[in-house]
Amino acid sequence: MSHSFPMTLWDYFSVLYRYKLRAISVVVIAVNLGLAWIANAPKEYESEAKLFVRVGWENAGLDPTVNKADAVAINISRENEITTMLEHLRCRPILENTMNLVIPPSPNDSVESREREFESFKRRISITSPKSSMVIRIAAKGDTPEVAHKTVASLTSLYLDDHLLLSRPEGSYEFLVEQAERLREEFELAQVELRDAKNRGDLASIQGRRTALESQINVVQTKINEVTASLSAAEAKMLTLRSSIDTLPEPLLKQMVGGSPNDGIATMRDKLFQLQVQQEEVKSKFQAAHPKYIALQAQVDEMTALLKKENPDRPQILQAILAADNSSKAAFVAQKQSLQSQLLELRDELMALNESEIQVTQSEMKLKHAESKYMAFATKTEDARIDSALLKDKISNVQVIQPASMSVLPVGPQKLNILVLSFVFGVAGGIALALLSDQWARFREASQKQNVRRRARGFKFTRVVRT
């Protein structure tokens, strides 16, 4: 029976030394295969471009038709923005269009072959961005420098064009221009409606007209109160006169008729008194038959007759006093009625103003609403116009800081790496072959010993049988 014991490090060295030729042969073969690969492998060339992403118009990410004042603020970090742009660069339509420009399709190509070609083309493209950076690196490998350069240049150009269109919905500017024009017409109609409403009410300002009417109403009401007080005073005076007029002396009554002692009758009395004084003076100097005295006497008689004719009697005086008071009362009544009529007209005008105010207020609200909508769409239209101008001039927040490079030095195959890998695989293969060879030798040796034992047992069995 055989017993297996674990191999020590010395045993491994012994095995490698025993089969050193085989191990060295494997290393040599592996290195030669690596050299053959380096000599026969196709060369690869790499082109590189870099994009700088700055804060610009496209960062808002809002359609021009959206009201930015009512938009919900979403905090998007620069890292998320760069990640989004990287995914946009890696999307299939841009890569397919790039491949169609670099490798035009052939009529004989099948769908499967074109798909395999696309997968191979996609693996040659590298799109990365350093951490905490605003730079995007686009690199591509090709069999020739021209292919690599065209791949990167085409991909960069297609992405920049698509990035401009992505944040600018098509037709938004035309839509906003049309809506702004319609709202401008509504705004002008609202202005005309407000003007007509003010013209119908003869209004320049609702508040100014209301203030004027309220002032006039207050003045008229004050005058009505004053006239009412005067009318009450006149009625009280008439009642007092009617109760006490019978007891008044006639000379006082005569004065009340004129209203003042210096009226026409009083003047005639003064003149009569002066004539009588002159008559007395002439009488003291001359005889009664003197012509001057006779003339003065005639004047005194004539004046006395006139005064007697002009002086009314008591009933006429009473009637005249009452007539004067009645006329004064009638004047107050007429004035009060006129003021009340004026007050009613002012109140009717105030009611009409209130009705007009409702229409004017509605027209003003409609005008303000139309103005706010028009101004909002005018602002959006201006934003869309700027957006369209930026698109037309191809102005974006993504700038090319390094165009696609044209490198004439190949980047593959990498000779040093291939040689190192070949040597490593050769060493590993040589060690494995040496260990396998040692195990095979042990197995053969064990098998031979077992066959010898079988033969020895068979020989002994034959001798016993013969005996």
- Tell me what pLDDT residue 373 has: 81
pLDDT digits (tens, 9 = 90+) for 336-345: 888 888 888 8
- Mean pLDDT confidence for 34-50: 84
Radius of gyration of the chain (CA): 65
Strand, coil or helix: what is 172? helix
- Tell me what pLDDT residue 261 has: 43
* Pairing status of strand 135-142 against strand 45-53: antiparallel
Residue scoring higher pLDDT (297 or 22): 22
**Where residue 159 falls among pLDDT bands split at 50, 70, 90?**
very high
Most confident of 36-50, 239-253, 264-278: 36-50
- Tell me what pLDDT residue 4 has: 52
pLDDT of 90 > 80? The answer is yes
Q: What are the sequence ranges of the domains in the chain? A: 8-39+426-459, 42-167, 206-378
Cβ(155)–Cβ(140) below 8 Å = yes
- Tell me what pLDDT residue 118 has: 92
Cβ(81)–Cβ(53) below 8 Å = yes
Which tokens in the block code for residue 230?
């005067």
Predicted TM-score of the model (pTM)? 0.51
Residue 467's Cβ-count burial label (10 Å; 0-12, 13-18, 19+) is: exposed
pLDDT digits (tens, 9 = 90+) for 209-260: 778 878 888 888 888 888 888 778 777 766 766 665 555 555 555 555 544 4
**Where residue 322 falls among pLDDT bands split at 50, 70, 90?**
low
**Where residue 1 falls among pLDDT bands split at 50, 70, 90?**
very low
346 to 130, 205, 206, 310: CA distances (angstroms): 82, 17, 15, 49
Q: Residue 202, by phi and psi: left (phi above 0), alpha (psi -120 to 50) or beta?
A: left
Phi then psi dihedrals of residue 17, to 5 deg: -70, -35
Residue 54's Cβ-count burial label (10 Å; 0-12, 13-18, 19+) is: exposed
Q: How far apart are the first and last CA of the chain?
A: 30
**Where residue 75 falls among pLDDT bands split at 50, 70, 90?**
low
Which of 458, 370, 416, 337 is closest to 182 using CA atoms? 370
**Where residue 122 falls among pLDDT bands split at 50, 70, 90?**
very high
- Tell me what pLDDT residue 98 has: 94
When the pLDDT of each residue in the chain is averaged and rounded to a whole number, the result is 77
CA angle 119, 123, 125 (to 5 degrees): 120
Residue scoring higher pLDDT (153 or 7): 153
pLDDT of 106 > 60? The answer is yes
**Where residue 319 falls among pLDDT bands split at 50, 70, 90?**
low
Among 9-13, 239-243, 250-254, 275-279, which stretch is predicted with the lowest mean pLDDT? 250-254
Distance CA 431, CA 386 (A): 72
Which tokens in the block code for residue 82?
């760069």
**Where residue 433 falls among pLDDT bands split at 50, 70, 90?**
confident
42-167: what fold? Bacterial polysaccharide co-polymerase-like (3.30.1890)
Which tokens in the block code for residue 341?
């009529």
Write out the DSSP string of 354-414.
Answer: HHHHHHHHHHHHHHHHHHHHHHHHHHHHHHHHHHHHHHHTT--SEEEEEPPP---S--BS-
- Mean pLDDT confidence for 372-399: 77
pLDDT digits (tens, 9 = 90+) for 340-382: 888 888 888 778 777 777 777 777 788 888 888 888 878 878 7
pLDDT of 149 > 80? The answer is yes
Distance CA 82, CA 86 (A): 6
